[in-house]
Amino acid sequence: MSIKQSIFLFLLTPFVLLVGITDGQTKVAAKVVELKSEYLKNPVGIDVKRPRLSWQIVSSEHALIQTAYQIKVAKSEAALAGKETPVWDSGKVASSESNQVAYSGPEQRSGDRVFWQVKVWLSNGEVVSSSETSYWEMGLLQTSDWMANWIEPEQSADVSKPSPAPMLRRAFNVRGDVVRARAYVTSRGLYEFQLNGNRVSDHLFTPGWTSYNKRLQYQVYDLTDQLKKGDNAVGITLGDGWYRGIGYNNYRYGDRLALLMQIKITYRDGNEETIVTDKDWRSSTGPILMSKIYDGETYDARLERKGWSEPGFADASWTNVRLAEYPKVDLVASMGNPVRAIQEIKPVKVFKTPAGDTVADMGQNMVGWVKLKVKGPAGTNIDIRHAEVLDKDGNVYLANLRGAKQVVRYTLKGGEAETYEPHFTFQGFRYVAIRGYPGELTVDDLTGVVIHSDMQPTSEFETSNPLINQLQHNIIWGQKGNFLDVPTDCPQRDERMGWTGDAQMFAPTAEFNMDVSAFYTKWLRDMAVDQLESGSIPHVIPDILSRPNRPQAGSAAWADAAVVIPWTMYQSYGDKRILEEQYPSMKKWVEYERNRAGDDYVWDGDQHFGDWLAFATNRSDYPGATTGKDLIATAFFAHSTDLLRRTAQLLGKTEDEKAYGELLEKIKAAFLREYVSGSGRIGENTQTAYTLALQFDLLPENMRESAAERLAKDVRSFKHVTTGFVGTPYICNVLSRYGYWDEAFMLLNNEKYPSWLYPVKNGATTIWERWDGQKPDGSFQDPGMNSFNHYAYGAIGEWMYRNMAGIKIDESAPGYKHILIEPHPGGGFRKVSVSHESVYGKVRSAWEITGNAIELSVEVPVNTTATVRLPKAKLAFVELSGKPLSKQNGILDAKEEGSNSVVRVGSGSYKFSYQMD
């Protein structure tokens, strides 16, 4: 140890005692912000009886930790501030927990709203209360709370042909001053809700897609300020949606659309009144002649019924509705993020194709629809076709849509300028071909409306390489386009289903980019109810592929989503309850794997998707990178067993922990016996085979280095990935884990097929399903399986964020309670910056190299700590904000490990700089 290093460590020891001092800076009081209940801000209509409460603490002071908290819950904001006895007072609890603290007061009744605040004690002596009061409101908790009847419009149930969208209405009288009004609504099919001529909410595609025959969501709306004294009217339009739409394999849940709704009104005098769906409602049809998820919409504006959802509308010619017998026991409060119109984009140009089509280029492959502005004669028909790409001749390419039409037809009513948007359909597209537009079409006449589940963006990522920045852009837009109430595989062709494999592979990247906590919680509950009695997991959730006695389920890596995603949720959000809820499902799946593997613990002989869409070539000397499906199945059997073992340990299930630990060792021994040769060759000697064996720790310690070398050698030989959906998420992680950083960066930076940047170089704005969806000569891959918005290969994002930029999760302190900052410069990058909004606040890591000097900026949220690994750094020469490291605030510990320096810090912002060795 050098003299300078000795002096530094001597000075550092007493310096730890100075944590919390602000180096003469003006002290700014801490704030408590971002109060959430069950991941949501001020949720209305939940059915979690003991919701978990979370908050963040914001302060510029270093190394600040919460030492205690106190939560108060009351029936009103005034009660919180006054001397009334609260519903629940946690008292002062000595704890640093500020994430998912369970409410432990009396259970609330249906419709109850309670308000809450939190006070925190901090390590610097501050005592801070939340600046705002938050609330949560219960939905309808008992089946008996539903006073309404299911009603159906008098309409044909012949779903073999398109049918107009039913419109239902009812007028009612509000007889006094309203202090509270709630609407509880669900449907079989989709619904749009209007009150007195106005949309009640900006939510789209309600009630959402669940396993309708087992779980049907309802939504709750606050109508207090929308009702008026005297006459009012409700108008509901129903759409086929996922419930009755003819889509993949002509699947549908039912033949008839139906509505269930009740509005509970509380008057100032204390009386209550409930308006319900009953035989007094009226029904008709209107301008929506057809609206289906896959086919698009046909809308005749001449058939609009002005004022139909307002009081005073003449509905004598409308027909009666009929009462229907549908269950109410399967109704659940809406949990996931609502689908909304999130942004609008304008076309970059309008042009004529060689085929003579007028086409608008939105500049971005997107999901949603086109908002049309037009003026022309009544009866004019405008057709809008949607396509993702142009062919090599410059014409719109539609073959990859398969059976999906993606066509919108609008018929003008004439007169004044008209604006139109579709209702119960969405399209995946970049290009729109317009036929029949009166006059000259310009970019001002079209607007792209981007829709997806309203998940809060939680990441920013940027590098010195514009191609990698575009790759990140494509990853984000792939997630936007495919996280639409369920995690779909693609948004354009006749599929758009919740494929489990795609979701499992992408989950860690999805979590980093957006807050998917509520989104995945909702989807996993459907996975649990759709799980087969055998324990097998369907290929898609909700399960619309299986038929009686013909289950479409049980594929390795796909069905393992039942275990992998709950574990990812726990790691990302510190969500232990999701493990508790999903544990029975997780266990049933592993037991299914055990049953299929049998006594030799090798899972062979079953049907699996394998390393889907792995690299293939027509070269006669190399048929493709085919990895045995049995090897993949056995590897994932081990992986899920390992995660189940860890989950059992966390939940205190000691017997299960022991049993699955023993099972894991048997599977590993079987894998070694069956797939690993004496010389260390694994399976078919493919990149995926080595990647899975190393990623899941299936090899004994003495074989891992040689296996990693074999993988690296294969990468150097091909100079590109040969992996498919299964191997791709892990390959760079395995290479870097074993020190093969150059090979990992080579794969990332490769611009030729097959690579992540090949689509980028070819103008992609989303992730492609295939490595070569469009070939260098402009031709296309097989149209039967060729989506240009398919996020699975975007799983490389996790490696970029956690290894290049360096923000890693400490599995022993999940949810970013303790953060690992381990950036790795390389690959020709001069700078990389990433930030992530964790449950505790913003985490940031950004490095930039100038010559041989590196500057690393780190941000750590309050109530967490971080271990920062400074690559190629001598501790004595590291500066913090231009000063010797020992003179700064917030440093908890520092040491050298090999060629790196490791510094443990508390919350705050830090700027390290040094000359790299």
Residues with a known catalytic role: 495, 769
461 touches 509 (CB < 8 A): no
Coil vs helix vs strand at 478: helix
Cβ atoms of 52 and 37 within 8 Å: the answer is yes
- The span from the CA of 143 to the CA of 328, in Å, is 6
- Paired strand residues for 206: 191
* Pairing verdict, β 818-821 and 446-453: unpaired
| φ and ψ at residue 574, rounded to 5 degrees | 65, 30
Q: φ and ψ at 76, to 5 degrees? A: -150, 165
Pair of tokens at residue 236: 């509901």
Nearest by Cα to 261 from 328, 336, 320, 212: 328
Q: What 3-state class would DSSP assign to 656?
A: helix
| Residues belonging to the chain | 917
How far apart (Å, rounded) are the C-alpha atoms in residues 565 and 509? Answer: 12
- Would you list the DSSP string of 224-276? TTT--SEEEEEEEEEE-HHHH---GGG--S-SS-EEEEEEEEEETTS-EEEEE
**Exposed/middle/buried for 766, CB within 10 Å: 0-12, 13-18, 19+?**
buried
Among 200, 176, 443, 178, which residue's Cα sits nearest to residue 309?
A: 200
- Please give the single-letter amino acid code of residue 608: H
* β-bridge pairing 134-138 and 44-46: parallel
AA letter at 694 = L
Q: Strand, helix or coil at 126?
A: coil
d(CA 114, CA 136): 6
What the block records as the tokens of 876 is 């004595």
Degrees, nearest 5: CA angle 641-608-600: 50
Q: Are the C-beta atoms of 687 and 714 separated by less than 8 Å?
A: yes
Residues 155/167, Cβ–Cβ less than 8 Å: no
In three-state secondary structure terms, 498 is: coil
Residue type, 22: T
Structure tokens at 853: 């000097």
**How far from each other are the two terminal CA atoms of the chain, in whole angstroms?**
16
User: Nearest 5°: CA angle at 75, between 72 and 76?
Assistant: 90
Are the beta carbons of 46 and 18 closer than 8 angstroms? no
CA torsion sign, 600 to 606 to 609 to 615?
A: positive
* Sheet strands side by side (includes 879-880): 459-463, 831-838, 841-850, 853-860, 908-915, 879-880, 883-884
The H or E element spanning position 847 is strand 841-850
Distance separating alpha carbons of residues 531 and 543, to the nearest angstrom: 9
Largest Cα–Cα distance of the chain, in whole Å? 96
Rounded CA-CA distance 31/71 in Å is: 15
Q: Tell me how far apart the alpha carbons of residues 468 and 481 are, in angstroms, rounded to a whole number.
A: 20
Question: Which candidate, 86, 210, 91, 85, places its Cα nearest to that of 529?
Answer: 210
Label each residue of 759-796 as H, E or C. HHHCCCCCCCCCCCCECCCCCECCHHHCCCCCHHHHHH
